[in-house]
Amino acid sequence: MIAVIDYGVGNLFSVEKALAAVGAEVRVTNDAETLRQAERIVLPGVGAFGDCMKNLEATGLIPVIRQEVAAGKPLLGICVGLQILFEGSEESPEAAGLGILRGKVRRIRAKGLKIPHMGWNSLCVRGKGGEEFLRGLSEEPYVYFVHSYHAVPEDQNVIAAVTEYGETLTAAVRKDNVWAAQFHPEKSGDVGLRILKNFMEGIQ
Res 180: pLDDT: 98
- Classify domain 2-202 by CATH number: 3.40.50.880
Per-residue pLDDT of the chain in tens (204 residues, 90 and over written 9): 999 999 988 778 899 999 999 999 999 999 999 999 999 999 999 999 999 999 999 999 999 999 999 999 999 999 999 999 999 999 999 999 999 999 999 999 998 999 999 999 999 999 888 998 999 998 899 999 999 999 999 999 999 999 999 999 999 999 999 999 999 999 999 999 999 999 998 754
Res 128: pLDDT: 86
Q: Which of 117, 147, 150, 184 is catalytic?
A: 184
Res 204: pLDDT: 41
Q: How many residues does the chain have?
A: 204
pLDDT tens string 79-104: 999 999 999 999 999 999 999 999 99
In terms of C-beta distances under 8 Å and separation of at least 24 residues, what long-range contacts does 162-167 make, across chains too? 162/123, 162/124, 162/126, 163/121, 163/122, 163/123, 163/124, 164/121, 164/122, 164/124, 165/108, 165/110, 165/113, 165/117, 165/121, 166/108, 166/109, 166/110, 166/111, 166/112, 166/113, 167/108, 167/109, 167/110
Q: Which of 16, 68, 91, 186 is catalytic?
A: 186
Contact between 147 and 79 (Cβ < 8 Å): yes
Res 160: pLDDT: 96
Res 110: pLDDT: 92
Res 89: pLDDT: 98
Res 174: pLDDT: 96
Confirm whether 186 is a catalytic residue.
yes
Confirm whether 124 is a catalytic residue.
no
Res 11: pLDDT: 78
Q: Which of 68, 79, 147, 150 is catalytic?
A: 79
Confirm whether 184 is a catalytic residue.
yes
